[in-house]
Structure 1
C-alpha cells in the first residue's frame, strides 16, 4: 500500500452527525448540526466553533440534547448547515444566514425532554439528554470543547434488542459525515470481543441505508 503526504483542510474521516439542541436567552430552542462528537463512557465530548449560538448558550445554560439522525434525514441536516442562530451573523460565518426557527426551516419536530429544558428532535431514532459539565477552549484555541454528561437515552423501539438495554447495531445506522459528504453504514463485517450484542442477538441482517 503506497501512501503520499497530503494537507487536507478538514479531518472528518467518518464521524456521526449529531443535532444539538440548546436553550436561547429568550427560552426558544436553537438547533445545530455538528460532526465532532465522540463518547467516553457516559460522557460525550463535543467540539464547537466559539462564535456559534450553541457554544454561547452552553456557556451560561448547560442543558442540551444530542440527537443522532438516520441516513435518510441527511436533506434535513443539510438544510440546517447554512443557518445560524446568531444575530448579527458572526464574521466567521460569511456564508451563513440568521434563522430564529431552525426546526421549522429544517422540517424537523421538537418533542419534550424529561430531564432537561431543551427539546429532543422527534425524528431522530437515538437521542441523549445531557448537561455540559465542562466548557473550555481546545488546545489550539480555535474551538470550544464541551464535556456533556448524559442523563437519559431515548431509542426508537425498532433499534433496541427486545428485552434488553442494548441498541441493535444490525438495525441502527447513524448518518456519517465523511470529508463533508453524507453516508450511512454498510454491511456488518464483524464485532468486538466486548460486544454485548453479537450476531445471535441481532434481530435482522445488517443492511446499509
Structure 2
C-alpha cells in the first residue's frame, strides 16, 4: 500500500563530502554537505547561495572535495552546525548554527597541501578531488520565492588522490568497492554501505571505457 506524502526533504541517501575552500583572508573553510553527484570527471554540487562555501567557490573558482569514510563520521559530525559566515545567515540561525573560523581544528582534521588548487586537502579522508568551476546554474529560477537561494555548481575534477587502502589490487586506477566504505547521509542520519546484494551487469564493462577528455585535460594541469 502507498500513501500520498509530503516529506520536507527528499534525501534518500547520498555520499557525504567535506568541501575545503579558501576565505578572503586566505584562511581555510571546511564544510560538510551531501547534495553531490558525479558524471565522469565532473561533479555537481547543490548548495545554498548564502553559504560561505558557495561564496568561496564562486569567488576563487576552485575547491577540494574530500570524501570521508565511515571512520571519519565523528569529525564530520563536529562540523555539522558550524558555518564560516559571520554574521550567521538568518536561516542557519534558526537551525542552531554558529560561526566557527577554525574548522579543521574543531573537527580534529589535518590540512595538507593540494597540487593544482589553493584549498588544502583533508589528510584523514581516503579520497581527495581537486576541482575547478566549470559552470554555475540557478535552481528553482521559475519560482520567485526561491529564486537565487540555491545554486548548482558544476565542477571539473583535475586531480584525484586515493589512499592505497581503497585501491583495487593490481589496478592503481580503480577503487575497490569492497574496501571503500563511504559515509552516507540519509534523511539527516549517518549510514555506511552494507554488503554487496547482487552481482552487477554494469560491472562487466571495463572502467577504462568511461574515460573522458577531462582525464586527458587533467594530466596537463
- TM-score normalised over the length of structure 1: 0.90
Which residue pairs with 2:113 in the alignment? 112
Unmatched runs of 5 consecutive residues or more in structure 2: 142-146, 207-221
Deviation, 1:178, is 0.7
Select the structure that is richer in helix. Answer: 2
Deviation track 1:132-173 (CA, whole Å, cap 9, x = no partner) reads 111232135331111010001111101001232100001001
Trace 1:1-209 onto structure 2 (pairs within 5 A).
2-94=1-93, 95-140=96-141, 141=147, 142-164=149-171, 165-195=173-203
Q: How many residues align?
A: 197
Deviation track 1:94-124 (CA, whole Å, cap 9, x = no partner) reads 1111111100011111111111110111100
Q: 1:191 to 1:150 in 2, by over 3 A?
A: farther
Write the distance in 2 (CA, Å) between the matches of 1:86 and 1:196. 46
Write the distance in 2 (CA, Å) between the matches of 1:154 and 1:105. 24
Deviation track 1:23-70 (CA, whole Å, cap 9, x = no partner) reads 111111110000000001110000001111011111110110001101
Deviation, 1:3, is 1.2
- TM-score normalised over the length of structure 2: 0.85
Unmatched runs of 5 consecutive residues or more in structure 1: 199-209
- 8 Å Cα contact 1:161/1:167 also seen in 2: yes
Write the distance in 2 (CA, Å) between the matches of 1:176 and 1:107. 20
Write the distance in 1 (CA, Å) between the matches of 2:9 and 2:114. 33
RMSD (Å), alpha carbons: 1.5
Q: Which runs of structure 1 show a deviation greater than 4 angstroms over 4 or more consecutive aligned residues?
A: none
